[in-house]
């Protein structure tokens, strides 16, 4: 339909990595497929094991289970559309683009706050170990999880609804591998100054508030660890939060490089590569990090597999 000098856009074309040779795109397709399957399998195993094993029913693993749910959601929103590299069908409907953006914001914002909640959980465990079971009782941790998930709803709703209420000109090529706000915003035929101010402030708040909470928690944790007299005790205390620290570092470093670099140093191609780190790679690495660096998870995985094999052997 034509409205004045504007053509109403009914679908978008994700340019993705179309500038690369076909052979490299095929390699990327296989790589993304492997990452997709590993991410789903790894996070699903974390969820199943922390539910099935009584030894992993502590608050720490409750929040880890929530993180795995988020990572699966993140993966399902972003990666399947990247599988169209080989088919060369990179179109996405107007509603599909809006839906993808909504859930991208929802899961991304929720993960920022959940990582902060997990840092608070480690703070209580290390700084108040005797009161930990009382403070982090089932009701409290359920409330903390709900508070972590909730901010994603208004942020995603406002930003997505506002952005897709703008008129779009005839150009419908999104220079990215998913419908992120900046590349879609470039296609708008209207004054977006107020929206851009809102988006910048919202992004800073969503990233900085959890980041500050994490820094505060780990400052107190570091101070508490330094007061432990034995080296073994210090190592044990640090090991309980090392996996979380590594996950936080991977997530926030890549996120900051994408959204807080100067525009002059932020070409579309470099942004695509950096975006892969927190949208595709990090969700795959999280269960690996928690499995390899956590003896309780490794032991629980072993018990679960032995139990499954034992049940299988009993089947006539």
Structure confidence by residue, pLDDT tens digits, 277-315: 888 888 888 888 877 667 777 777 777 666 766 654 444
Residue 301 belongs to some domain of the structure:
no
Query: CA triplet 39, 150, 81: central angle to 5 degrees?
Result: 35
Give the pair of three-digit tokens for residue 219.
Answer: 């400052």
The rounded radius of gyration (Å) of the Cα atoms in the chain is 22
Backbone region of residue 21 per phi and psi (left: phi > 0; alpha: psi in -120 to 50; beta: other values): beta
Residue 22 belongs to some domain of the structure:
yes
Among 59-63, 219-223, 246-250, whose mean pLDDT is lowest?
A: 246-250
What range does the domain containing 149 cover? 11-261+283-288
Q: How many domains does the chain have?
A: 1
**Among the ranges 14-18, 54-58, 114-118, 224-228, which has the highest mean pLDDT value?**
114-118
Residue 271 belongs to some domain of the structure:
no
Q: By CB neighbour count within 10 A (0-12 exposed, 13-18 middle, 19+ buried), where does 4 fall?
A: exposed
Can you tell me which residue has the tokens 């590569």?
273
Residue 182 belongs to some domain of the structure:
yes
Can you tell me which residue has the tokens 């991410």?
39
Question: What CATH number is attached to the domain comprising 176?
Answer: 1.20.1070.10
Residue 278 belongs to some domain of the structure:
no
């Amino acid at each position: 339909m034509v409205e004045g000098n504007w053509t109403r856009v009914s679908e978008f074309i994700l340019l993705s990595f179309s500038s690369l040779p076909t052979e490299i795109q095929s390699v990327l397709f296989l790589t993304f497929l492997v990452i997709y399957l590993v991410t789903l399998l790894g996070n699903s195993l974390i969820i199943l094991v922390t539910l099935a094993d009584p030894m992993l029913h502590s608050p720490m693993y409750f929040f880890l289970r929530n993180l795995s749910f988020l990572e699966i959601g993140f993966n399902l929103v972003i990666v399947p559309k990247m599988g169209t590299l080989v088919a060369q069908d990179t179109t996405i409907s107007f509603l599909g683009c809006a839906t993808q953006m909504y859930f991208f914001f929802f899961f991304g914002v929720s993960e920022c706050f959940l990582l902060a909640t997990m840092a608070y959980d480690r703070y209580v465990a290390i700084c108040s170990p005797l009161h930990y079971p009382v403070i982090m009782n089932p009701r409290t941790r359920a409330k903390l999880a709900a508070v972590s998930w909730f901010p994603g709803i208004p942020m995603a709703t406002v930003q997505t609804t506002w952005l897709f209420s703008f008129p779009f000109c005839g150009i419908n090529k999104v220079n990215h591998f998913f419908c992120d706000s900046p590349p879609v915003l470039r296609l708008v035929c209207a004054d977006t100054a107020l929206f851009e101010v809102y988006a910048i402030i919202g992004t800073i708040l969503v990233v900085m508030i959890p980041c500050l909470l994490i820094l505060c928690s780990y400052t107190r944790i570091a101070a508490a660890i330094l007061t432990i007299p034995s080296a073994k005790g210090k190592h044990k205390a640090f090991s309980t939060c090392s996996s979380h620290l590594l996950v936080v570092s991977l997530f926030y470093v890549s996120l900051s490089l994408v959204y807080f670099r100067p525009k002059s140093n932020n070409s579309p191609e470099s942004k695509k590569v950096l975006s892969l780190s927190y949208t595709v790679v990090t969700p795959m690495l999280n269960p690996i990090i928690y499995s390899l660096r956590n003896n309780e998870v490794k032991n629980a995985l072993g018990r679960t597999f032995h139990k499954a094999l034992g049940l299988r052997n009993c089947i006539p």
